[in-house]
Amino acid sequence: MFDQEFLDNENKEISKEYKKLLRISYRSLTKEDKSLIRKAFNVALEAHKDQRRKSGEAYIFHPISVAQIVASEIGLDATSIASALLHDVVEDTEYTLADIEQLFGETIAKIVDGLTKISKMSKEGDISLQAENFRKMLLTLNDDIRVIIIKIADRFHNMQTMDSMRPDKQVKIASETLYIYAPLAHRIGLYNIKTELEDLSLKYTEPDVYNDIALKIKESKEEQDRYIKDFSDIIRTALDEEGLSYTIKGRPKSIYSIRRKIIAQNITYEEIYDKFAIRIVYRSDRANEKFLAWKIYSIVTEFFVPNPTRLRDWIAAPKSTGYEALHITVMGPEGRWVEVQIRSERMHEIAEKGYAAHYKYKNKDHKVEQSMDQWLSKLQEALESNESVNAVDFVEEFKLNLYSKEIFVFTPNGDLKSLPKGATALDFAFNIHTDVGLSTRGTKVNGQLKPLSHILKSGDQVEVITSKSAKPSSNWLDFVTTGRARSKIKAALKETKKQIAIEGKETLRRKLRSQRIQLNEKTVNEMVNHFKLKTSLDLFYRVGNGHIDNKDIKDYASQKNNALVSFIKSKIRRNSKQPEDVNKDEITSNYDQLVFGEDEEVFDYKIATCCNPIPGDEVFGFLTVNEGIKVHKKTCPNALQLQSNYAYRIMKAKWIDSTQEDYSAKISLNGLDDIEIVNKVTDLISNTLHVNMKELNIKSNGGVFNGIITVSIKNNRNLNHLIDKLKKIEGILKVSRE
């Protein structure tokens, strides 16, 4: 297949990459370390000698690349580097776990075993299976956090080398990366890798968007470099006069974060003002770090006016990931807001390397290491206390806290507690202790009584008022945002429901006996269907709390003998259901504008109400269990989860004709209040462009108006044309599609 010259060159390249691995290691490698890594490399080379990747290159390049990421980008130790080299050996070759343990010892064998278990998880399946796999993956953290870190490195390299894969596989892996691996990388403190994982994921899930933003960043790079130089030159002299050793660099915003801001704020790329941040990294011993950070702050703010609402001090109160820095936003040259990040070299290493860099400084400062240990402890508690919780709910609740920004609040005794931004007083109660949360009767914030739903701010002092008689209710779930509080409330409610259901079962048995009906599995199933419930627990619970009473049970008993007749009637009713019975929130269509699959076949479909796509939008089809094909926009809030967990049910879709039916679309606009503005808008829509306007709602406040217009439109092109025309009306400042 390959000639000898090709193989000789390939072997030279393998040797070159191995030597690079030793050279770029973040840690200083001892003679024993190098010997261990060499041994692992030889075993991996032998094990994978007959394997090749889809791109055609020798498989050994993959474990070497993963080991390089582990060694340099993340900065782990020799044990981790060796484990990375061996991470696919047990799964893909004839080597067993026993062989690895015999050759390399228990620690490396345990890490490789954890990595093998993750890789063996089903690549397909419904969301509950994917969620259960995610929970199992997190369980490996209890053994050794290096398992997850190496797995993130493995995924990082796979994302960098996906070009040779099928497009559907690319979307599946990219969506899963955004859903699971990027948030985990963020939580472990691997910010650089998190950012690149997000960008690479966008490259495959929305390639046109990615390429468009990447091109615009490239085109504006020269102008940005000039601006960063002008900004730096202004403060450089003052920093030099203080005798500081430092570097100043510009850090561009990631493509993914720009995309997220465009969607969240309904703005264009050109309207984003903070496309980069300026980072000042200074050299300091540990004792003077904080003093020098504030000295640099004072120098920067001597030249540029700071925004007082945008000061973030993560030196006094580091993030729970261990991140430390001073962030300020100042008014820079040309009237542009600029974020300035101030970090010591130690802080910078922790920000770049995350968990791995903690150990370099652990003898000098345990604060960072302790924060990671606390997180691992909370994770273990979450895994143990949520064993009975639905896996999908567990994953969603766990992810709630991965990306959340933090606030810092105080207990009555002055202890500092970290909570995600948006946390409520009830979240705080559960953060103190589960028993405190479950017995909460009320809360005081800064000495004043506040409802349990009160959203906390950094600096608040919170006191929890408890009572032995207090019990959680289902509406508490509306008052909390943290996964911990939510899972504890759900577990308590479930336990209460179980107790009521036990009593309800005995009550039902007695009441059925009086109707000469025996309570058995058949009867229970019939009653569950009769009352349109999901489980027997729901039935017993409703009997126990009185929602199903004597009259309901007698009605069931009287209908039991006519069950067959009732079934036939309901079957007839279902088969003869008229179109008007269809859910009015969903738009059905039998038109041929939308085609599916590579063969561009025509099927019946429904428009998903979560994103309401119209002809011309980038869309995909999703095959539901009961409702056929539903069509979603590629930018739908639910797209990521669907593509990650149900890749095998995703259908390629595109619009080919949209002249036969009008679709409803909402346009948002605002501008300067003018008595003629409504006339100008309606005249343009109805008389000039001949578009049918279904609804118009405009509100005025303080010389500014905001409006929502609902129009009946043929397709996306016509809608964009209408928006462009509206933007040109004098007095209108912003127009966007809702």
User: HSE-up of 504 (CA within 13 Å, CB side)?
Assistant: 23
CA gap 555, 563 in Å, rounded? 12
Scanning the structure block, which residue is given the tokens 């070009």?
163
Mean pLDDT of 506-515: 86
- pLDDT (average), residues 335-351: 89
Residue 529's CB is within 10 A of a number of other CB atoms, namely 11
The confidence score (pLDDT) of residue 419 equals 83
The share of the chain scoring above pLDDT 70, in percent, equals 83
Average pLDDT, the chain: 80
Confidence category of residue 391, pLDDT binned at 50, 70, 90 = low
**More confident: 124 or 484:** 484
The single residue listed with the structure tokens 């303080």 is 702
Query: What local confidence, expressed as pLDDT, does residue 378 receive?
Result: 55
User: Over 60: is that where the pLDDT of 365 sits?
Assistant: no
pLDDT band with cut points at 50, 70 and 90 for residue 591: very low
DSSP-assigned beta bridge partners for residue 116? none
Helix (H, G, I), strand (E, B) or coil at 311: coil
**What is the per-residue pLDDT across 89-136, written as a single tens digit (0 to 9) for each?**
988 888 888 999 999 998 899 888 888 877 665 444 444 555 566 666
Determine which one of 57, 92, 618, 674 is catalytic: 92
Model confidence pLDDT, tens digit, residues 718-738: 788 888 888 888 888 888 887
d(CA 368, CA 318): 8
Q: What are phi and psi of 311, to 5 degrees?
A: -95, 125
Ranking 295-299, 552-556, 570-574 by mean pLDDT, the lowest is: 570-574
Active site residue 552: no
Under CATH, domain 663-737 is a member of which superfamily?
ACT domain (3.30.70.260)
pLDDT digit string, tens, across residues 607-633: 888 888 888 788 899 888 777 889 998
Catalytic residue among 17, 91, 101, 369: 91
Do residues 582 and 604 lie in contact, with contact meaning Cβ atoms separated by under 8 Å?
A: no
pLDDT one-digit tens code per residue, 539-556: 888 888 888 888 888 888
Tokens of 577: 């259901």
Please check whether residue 108 is in contact with residue 100, taking contact to mean a CB–CB distance below 8 angstroms.
Answer: yes
Asked if residue 87 has pLDDT above 50, the reply is: yes
Pick 370-476's CATH classification: 3.10.20.30, 3.40.50.2000, 3.30.70.920, 3.30.200.20.
3.10.20.30
Neighbours of 32 (CB within 10 A): 9
Name the CATH superfamily housing domain 211-353: Beta Polymerase, domain 2 (3.30.460.10)
Q: Where in the chain are the domains?
A: 4-190, 211-353, 370-476, 491-576, 580-655, 663-737
DSSP class per residue in 497-516: HHHHHHHHHHHHHHHHHHTT
Q: Is 91 a catalytic residue?
A: yes
Q: What is the DSSP letter of 162?
A: -
**Pairing, β 336-344 against β 276-282:** parallel
* Element containing residue 705 per DSSP (H, E): strand 704-713
Per CATH, is 4-190 categorized as 1.10.1740.10?
no
> How confident is the model over 167-185, as pLDDT tens digits?
888 888 888 888 778 888 8
- The more confidently predicted of residues 206 and 624 is 206
Whether residue 301 is predicted with pLDDT greater than 90 in this model: the reply is yes
Residues 6+ apart with CB under 8 A from 461: 409, 410, 411, 412, 445, 446, 447
335 has pLDDT over 70: yes
- Say what the pTM is: 0.64
Report pLDDT for 581.
40
Element (H, E) at 344: strand 336-344
- Whole-number Å distance between alpha carbons of 158 and 293: 39
Residue 609 near residue 603, CB atoms below 8 Å: no
Confidence of residue 572 (pLDDT cuts 50, 70, 90): very low
Amino acid 61: pLDDT: 93
Asked if the model's pLDDT at residue 55 lies above 90, the reply is no
- Alpha-helix runs per DSSP H in 531-588: 536-544, 550-560, 563-575
Confidence of residue 696 (pLDDT cuts 50, 70, 90): confident
pLDDT, average across residues 687-697: 77
Q: Are 427 and 480 in contact (CB under 8 A)?
A: yes
Mean pLDDT value of segment 464-479: 86
From the CB of residue 454, how many other CB atoms can be counted at a distance below 10 Å? 19
